[in-house]
Amino acid sequence: MPPRHFLLAILIAGTVPGFVRADSPAPPSDLPDYVRKEDKSFAWKLAGKTEVDAGAVYEIDLISQTWHDIKWTHKLQVFVPKGGQVRPTMVLWNQGGTPSPASGLLGLQIARKVGAPVAFLYGVPNQPLFGGKREDALIAETFVRFLETKDPTWPLLFPMVKSLVKAMDALQAFAREEWKADVKDFVVTGASKRGWTSWLTAATGDRRVKAIAPLVIDTLNFPVQMKNQVAAFGKPSAMISDYTERKLVPIPDTGDGRRLWTMVDPWVYREAIAVPKMIINGANDPYWPLDALNSYWTDLKGDKYLLYVPNAGHNLRETDKDGKQELLPGRAVNTLSAFCKSQVFAKTMPKLAWKHTDGKDGADNPSEDSAGVGENDRPGVIEVESSMLPARGRIWRAYSETRDFRKARWESTDWKPGTDNPGGTCPRPAMGFAAFFAECDYEVDGLTFTLSTQIRILEAKK
């Protein structure tokens, strides 16, 4: 069936928020310089193969580099689903730690949904280091060391990115030896700081990065995001205390301080990151302001797709009204898998486009004349266009006394695409703030998945 186009108008009270844009510094060369530097400690070997009911799992031992006299070692697993096809494009997920039953279940699940081999790289970063530091405390330590020494190889994101680049080298060699096949490019993905790493891997200009899918790293354009956090929460999120305690946030008003955050901000490299991208965020993520994405979405180049998971935090697992959390992040895994499958098999993903305009206060028809209605009283209109007719859709709404929606409960209203009244009206709240977004469900090649619009925050009438 050829693609179908439809237009749906959803009446929601409010106006489109504006954001202050940061100056656009030139991308520094420190990251690609570090990644491309030859490292003779790089090595890999096949450590084993295990047959399971769902397919096969290969395990590879990898040494990606030696960074400040520390040899970085990794486990690299390749999940091959039963009946799956080896393709020129492979999915490469990166995470910390070592293989576990949970990661094995996730890897096989994604591989089965994609229908092709999926690789998981562990030990990104190698840790603990420097007196037992891990995760953000470790990143902050390396940022401080850069500020103290001016040595551009210190930021931990650099060796994290290089570990992904060397994993691509190893996987290409492995595929030639084991399958007599050429893997030419990769869909690079990961969550949180591994999502940050996914962005920066594309920023290196490595042509093998065909697409990226960063999860829960909703903080591009750091100077603006730090102001957004204070505006929404009253102070920086407690989740980034490792940076605030080391006086890295607010961004130091020094040349070296600004340079540091420029070196690791994917927004600075946006012209180079023109590959397709799938961004997945939790609508209740305690790390980031709810509308953080609006500070950078329009700046992104190339095809881009978005999913918000309602009633889900940093782990993307939805929580029901009774507080029960799902075991696996189903909505996120399905959409991630659909995006990866589209890249692996060169299939077309449905594309959403949307715009906000103003309608008449209380009107169900956005085309009605709104003359004489105060700007703060006008309902907003979001027009959503899809290149493919969705199976179903809904609007999610949440309310909060302040711009802090981290503990808000999201509720949905279903609509049927193609009907005369797919959405409805929602006046501005009498007090506080309301937030909303629209989403569409699709069923393509046996996969059901969801795409979202941007979130919009509405302030009470004045």
What is the average per-residue pLDDT within 311-321?
Answer: 97
Give the per-residue pLDDT at 282.
Answer: 98
The pLDDT score that the predictor gives to residue 378 is 57
Radius of gyration (C-alpha) of the chain in whole angstroms: 23
Tallying the residues shown for the chain, one arrives at 462
Please state, rounded to an integer, the average pLDDT across all residues of the chain: 89
The tokens describing 434, both together, are 């309301």
Q: What is the pLDDT of residue 368?
A: 33
Question: Is residue 461's pLDDT more than 80?
Answer: no
The CATH number of 30-344, from 3.30.2290.10, 3.40.50.1820, 3.40.50.1970, 3.30.465.10, is: 3.40.50.1820
Are 278 and 205 in contact, with CB atoms under 8 Å apart? no
364 — pLDDT class (breaks 50, 70, 90): very low
Listed ranges 15-24, 243-252, 375-384; the one with the highest mean pLDDT: 243-252
What is the maximum alpha-carbon separation in the chain?
A: 73
pLDDT tens readout for residues 264-303? 999 999 999 999 999 999 999 999 999 999 999 999 999 9
Residue 376's pLDDT is: 57
Q: Which residues pair with 400 in a beta bridge?
A: 433
Output the CA angle 77-103-83, nearest 5 degrees: 60
Query: How do residues 396-437 score in pLDDT, each as one tens digit?
Result: 899 999 999 999 999 998 876 655 444 434 567 789 998 989
Check residue 253 and report its DSSP letter: S
Dig out the tokens for 407 from the structure.
């503990």
pLDDT tens-digit map of 96-132 = 999 999 999 999 999 999 999 999 999 999 999 999 9
Question: Which residues of 88-174 form beta strands (DSSP E)?
Answer: 89-94, 118-121
Per-position b or e across 139-154, b if 16+ CB within 10 A of its CB:
bbbbbbbbbeeeebbb
Would strands 392-400 and 379-386 be described as parallel, antiparallel, or unpaired? Answer: unpaired
Q: Which residues contact 250 (CB under 8 A, 6 or more apart)?
A: 226, 236
Return the domain boundaries, the chain. 6-19+351-459, 30-344
pLDDT tens-digit readout, 430-449: 899 989 898 999 999 889 99
Q: What is the three-class DSSP state of 163?
A: helix
In this predicted structure, what is the pLDDT of residue 57?
98
Question: Looking at the predicted structure, is the pLDDT value of residue 224 above 80?
Answer: yes
